[in-house]
Amino acid sequence: MNSAHELSTLIHALRMLHRDASSKAALATLTRTRGSTFRRAGTRMLVFDDGRVVCELSGGCPQRDIVARAKEVIANATPRVVKYNAQSGLDVLMEMGCGGELEVLIEPLLTIHDTDFIDTLTTCFDRRQPIHMATLFAIDEEVVMPRRLVWNEHATLHDSVNEQALAQTIIANVASMNSPKTTTLRLPSAQGIADVLVEAIAPPHALVVIGSSAAARALLPLASALGWQTTLVDHDPARLNVSDLPEGLKTVCASPSRLTDALPLDSHSSVVVMTHNLEHDVAYLGALKDAPVAYLGALGSRERVARMRDNTALAGLHVHAPAGLDIGSETPEEIALAIAAEIMAVINQRSGGSLRDNDGTIH
């Protein structure tokens, strides 16, 4: 599926689409994948009638074919599902070179009502609310104009499915899943068997960097490039009032005692403490003891980290320290890369190891 950063980019493009009456577009969505493919189910690409794209799927042969078919969908104003497998699209599959199979829903976006659900997604992103979205796109294997259902743990937020029993069935099926993996379900409806793509959508990841060290400054632009909502924290306002900070960066002047009041933290947030002052590091880490963050890290040598762990104020606190994957980093930029990689591994529930086996086999 799309990352939260990609989804934010798509939302912005979709909002701009209907402000320009001369532009028409189609939304291409991977609904099913099997084997090795360039992206997973739920990933989207916006295609304009002049061939421009937002959020490329692959950049290669499959994408060129999908763009060509999307332009046909725009011209015909009719949605379609394109399958790339051994029975169809075989030439494109061979050029892909990855041996996978995939199915792509391509829907025309010709009126503002075709993207009504975008307002709901925008509101949830602004409020940092995780949600689920279901896209109904076929009945008895006949493609229909997609209809969507958006909900969170408290309520239904958008419903163009307009079939209460089906909506309840979708929500119940998602609730029974063991993981939030994006998948396409086949469910009974009043009109027949419905194909429904369901996906969990999280808000953009938020990174809080505490301290104004060289490694901290190197981490800021990297985090921004990854689409993370980045905040720099320091107790000294002079260190926050400098000209070389990345554009759009949020800064917060806060001491450890004010930290949690000044920063709303959630399970889609990470914090890295890197002040280069052991006493300050310990104070900030102690203030984060009950924070519901996905990742908490601290910069430092192994000897320095051992002194942190011996501090009774941090007893029971799980900290990634020294922060970062072991890639032999020494410079501030290399350290920033190692830290960002470890955060990515943690939030994606990966080990951070090599993609290959010991015998050289590629996973």
- The per-residue pLDDT for range 21-56, each reduced to its tens digit, is 678 999 999 999 888 777 889 999 999 999 999 998
Whether 94 has a pLDDT exceeding 50, the answer reads no
Q: Per-residue pLDDT averaged across 297-325, rounded?
A: 88
Residue 122 in any domain: the answer is no
Query: pLDDT above 70 covers what percent of the chain?
Result: 93
Q: Give the chain's mean pLDDT.
A: 89
Q: Mark whether 66 and 98 lie in a shared domain.
A: yes
The predicted structure's pLDDT at residue 301:
83
* HEC sequence for the chain: CCCHHHHHHHHHHHHHHCCCCCCCEEEEEEEEEECCCCCCCCCEEEEECCCCEECCCCCCHHHHHHHHHHHHHHHHCCCEEEEECCCCCHHHHHHHCCCCEEEEEEEEECCHHHHCHHHHHHHHHHCCCCEEEEEEEEECCEEEEEEEEEECCCCEEEECCCCHHHHHHHHHHHHCCCCCCCEEEEEEECCEEEEEEEEEECCCCEEEEECCCHHHHHHHHHHHHCCCEEEEEECCHHHHCCCCCCCCCEEEECCHHHHHHHCCCCCCEEEEECCCCHHHHHHHHHHCCCCCCCEEEECCCHHHHHHHHCCHHHCCCCCECCCCCCCCCCCHHHHHHHHHHHHHHHHCCCCCCCCECCCCCEC
The predicted structure's pLDDT at residue 60:
62
CA–CA distance, 298 with 282 (Å, rounded to integer): 9
Q: Per-residue pLDDT averaged across 293-297, rounded?
A: 96
Q: Which of 180, 204, 228 represents a domain boundary (last residue)?
A: 204
Whether 149 has a pLDDT exceeding 80, the answer reads yes
Residue 361 in any domain: the answer is no
Q: Mark whether 150 and 213 lie in a shared domain.
A: no
Q: Mark whether 215 and 340 lie in a shared domain.
A: yes
Whether 359 has a pLDDT exceeding 70, the answer reads no
The predicted structure's pLDDT at residue 311:
85
Considering its fold, how many domains does the chain have in total? Answer: 3
Residue 355 in any domain: the answer is no
Residue 360 in any domain: the answer is no
Confidence of residue 291 (pLDDT cuts 50, 70, 90): very high
Residue 352 in any domain: the answer is no
Whether 346 has a pLDDT exceeding 50, the answer reads yes
Confidence of residue 88 (pLDDT cuts 50, 70, 90): low
Q: Mark whether 228 and 341 lie in a shared domain.
A: yes
Q: Per-residue pLDDT averaged across 304-331, rounded?
A: 89
Supply the CATH number for residue 339's domain: 3.40.50.720
Q: Which residues contact 249 (CB under 8 A, 6 or more apart)?
A: 220, 224, 230, 231, 232
Q: Mark whether 51 and 95 lie in a shared domain.
A: yes
The predicted structure's pLDDT at residue 287:
93
Residue 194 in any domain: the answer is yes
Q: Mark whether 329 and 218 lie in a shared domain.
A: yes
> Contact at 8 Å (CB) between 265 and 271?
yes
Q: Mark whether 105 and 95 lie in a shared domain.
A: yes
Q: Mark whether 37 and 98 lie in a shared domain.
A: yes
Model's pTM, two decimal places? 0.86
Residue 252 in any domain: the answer is yes
Whether 160 has a pLDDT exceeding 90, the answer reads yes
Whether 97 has a pLDDT exceeding 60, the answer reads no
Task: Identify the domain containing residue 233 by its residue range.
Answer: 206-347
Q: Which of 115, 136, 161 represents a domain boundary (last residue)?
A: 115
CA–CA distance, 291 with 273 (Å, rounded to integer): 14
Residue 354 in any domain: the answer is no
pLDDT tens profile 257-271: 999 999 989 999 999
Whether 91 has a pLDDT exceeding 90, the answer reads no
The tokens describing 118, both together, are: 């975008």
Q: Mark whether 19 and 107 lie in a shared domain.
A: yes
Whether 363 has a pLDDT exceeding 60, the answer reads no
Round the CA-based radius of gyration of the chain to a whole number and report it: 23
The predicted structure's pLDDT at residue 360:
57
The predicted structure's pLDDT at residue 44:
95
